[in-house]
Structure 1
């Protein structure tokens, strides 16, 4: 290869090659699983800069021919006629350093992971193949060793990329398998139709973002997804079709309930009718939902009939409550009069007064439910007081009570006499038995005497 007088390399030289490698075409799965840069193999010897000492790697002959030193001896690389031989060597040394810089750049990009290993390998191979004819002056052996090192690194990086791509594919397949399994589970089990439908749409959106699955596997997984989605849609459709039928039946049933509720709205049979409205409400809830518009209209009619009845009942009850409250006041006045009765004086007069109050009490009528126990209790207390006084008077005039006391007294004296005779006869056992029986009868005598004394 020759050089022109300006020292520029001729066609086909290493310096003609671009030193900037193009960006690699990275597939989506490689982007999502970027390989860790492969560790460099055992470091190759550094390539010395040729321009600092070009004479160590080449020379310019007397006739102007430029030679570079190689392992096989000197090789002519061009001619230099434009100036001093040293300038010629420096020119070809700069060319060498340009190639050396390009190799170092390839190596740096591989080490950092920013370069495309395939592109780097291609450039390194091209440079290595051109070294045999390259018009440069420098340590070609060191540069070739460095290129071998870059090629080995690129091969390792390519292996890593392949492994990462395979891992990315495996991960993508697994993700789609899990999504397909989830859709299948939803399709066979879920009855939360809105939530499940939203989730299936979310799964589909996620499905579209997953790349890197081979077409055959992707088709199989998509068929699973699509089949499960269709199953879910059929189940959901059948559910809502059945729901429509149920709602149509609920509409008919609720129309019947509304008609009955309206027919009862004018009833004055307050208790049974209120109970029937309560039952109608339970039947309304059990009937289920009718179509929304019809359900709302029927409910308004049902409530209107119910409200009409209970408004009429409330009006009647309010009037009755006022009457009952007035009755309660009258009974309080009777109680105030009854509680002044003193049966300890004239018992007959007390009984007569109580009878008159009881007759007036019955004529007054009903009182509020919550006052019944209180008012009736106070009247019963007066009745018990009068009755207690009558019982006490009867006990005081009861001849049987005195007779019982005398009988108990005679028995005590009888057993005491038996005990005395037993002591005189020296029969202590019989004496103790007689004394015990006398003590028992003495207790009963005391109780009988207390009853007579308390009258």
Structure 2
């Protein structure tokens, strides 16, 4: 019979292991000496020691889940409880019990960590919802729209909550975005409707202006033209593609009438010459508003200048295009500044601004080439006329470039 501190082999070849509960049968050994039997089962014990050591290390140093750890512990415990090894099995049970406590502790830590992360995610999503609901009432269409898109990206990066909470918050978030989109769509639809209404109104004004252009009833017709001009200004701007054409027809009809009246009232030439001087002074005053800085104050100043302009009366026919062209240049610059402000809320604004800048640049380049050609040909009068037109185009181009800068381009 052979034995060691933790086991023995009796004369029949039965192997025993000593435990706190007494000796337990390990197995029967008939293949060799008792020493070999003990050595064999001691190696199995060492295997369990190594296995427990590896599991302890995995629990401490990896993200092994509590469930998988418990499965591994139960597997080793079955082997220990089966008493198929010779060694301090009670010590192994103690290590396994300690390991169970460690796993439970880590399970609780992870549970608390998940709860904390869930609370943080909930708070973050509630903050996103609150901001989205506030933005839903904004009239800053471009800035609010961009911010809402950024909030969506932030939401996607946050972990999910429980299904009920996540769905409720997402519903509020999505509803806020939809409400904003609906308001923005309605706003621009209203703008489109206003421009369409302005177009129809100006079409009617143009038709009446053209019908009056042949009248010789000078006083009443001139008064009616002034009323039509007031109605024109009150109508607002039509769509960009219609506004200039309508204005040219409207102004052209008035020009026909007033040119005829001017030919009849030749004696008023002196008065009209004085009017020209006054309007040139006003045009110079208006040109000092360029380039447009403070749009609101520039608009108010131009309105005052224009009221004085309208009160002056007519100028000689041959001088009208030049002096009115100077005023129209300033008016167009103001209109472009207003358009730039509107375009900032329009998703197609940048493309249109770039297109306008390209067209104006091409016009400026063409005028410069024409001026050089006129100078080369000795046609100073044409060159001077083109220079004045170039000034107007350059002012529009400068305004368009300024609009592009507002887009960051």
1:182-222 CA deviation, whole Å, 9 max, x = no partner? 21121122x33233222222222222232230110011101
Correspondence for 2:155: 207
What is aligned with 2:237? 250
Deviation string for 1:331-383 (max 9, x for gaps)?
xxxxxxxxxxxxxxxxxxxxxxxxxxxxxxxxxxxxxxxxxxxxxxxxxxxxx
For 1:74-105, what per-residue CA distance to the aligned partner results, in whole angstroms no more than 9, with x for missing partners? 11111112222111111111111111111111
Unaligned 5+ residue runs, structure 1? Answer: 1-52, 316-455
- State TM-score, norm by structure 1: 0.48
Counterpart for residue 204 of structure 2: none
Is the CA contact 2:8–2:38 (under 8 Å) kept in the aligned structure 1?
A: yes
* 3-state SS, counterpart of residue 59 of structure 1: strand
What is the aligned counterpart of 2:188 among 225, 240, 249?
Answer: 240
Distance in 2 (CA, whole Å) between partners of 1:200 and 1:97 is 63
Question: Residue 82 and residue 219 in structure 1: after superposition, are their counterparts in 2 closer, same or farther (change >3 A)?
Answer: same
Structure 2 residue aligned with 1:224? 172
- For 2:4, what is the secondary structure of its paired residue? helix
Q: How far apart, in 1, do the equivalents of 2:178 and 2:64 lie?
A: 46
Shift of 1:286: 5.8
SS at match of 1:62: coil
1:12-161 aligned at under 5 Å gives the runs 55-161=4-110
Counterparts of 1:432-451 in structure 2, within 5 Å, are none
- How far residue 309 of structure 1 moved from its aligned partner, in angstroms, is 12
Change (3 A) 1:128 1:145: same
2:277 aligned partner: 271
C-alpha contact (below 8 Å) 1:179/1:207 kept by paired residues? yes
Return the alpha-carbon distance in structure 2 between the equivalents of residues 314 and 173 of structure 1: 66
Asked if the contact 2:45–2:87 (Cα under 8 Å) also holds between the matched residues in 1, the reply is yes
Change (3 A) 1:123 1:164: same
- Structure 2 gap segments, 5+ residues each: 199-235, 263-271, 287-305, 307-326, 344-348, 368-380, 389-409
Say if 2:17 and 2:83, in contact at 8 Å, map to a contact too: no
**How far apart are the structure 2 equivalents of 1:126 and 1:136?**
15
CA RMSD for the aligned pairs? 4.1
1:129 deviates by: 4.2
Q: Does 1:178 align with 2:127?
A: yes
Distance in 1 between residues matched to 2:387 and 2:58, nearest whole Å: 92
2:141 corresponds to: 193
Single out whichever of 273-282 and 154-163 deviates more from structure 2. Answer: 273-282
Aligned pair in 2 of structure 1 residues 121, 296: CA closer, same or farther (>3 Å)?
closer
Say which one has the larger Rg: 1
The alignment of Structure 1 onto Structure 2 pairs a total of residues equal to: 256
DSSP 3-state at the match of 1:76: strand
**Matched residue of 1:135: which SS?**
coil
Give me the TM-score of the superposition, normalised by structure 2. 0.53
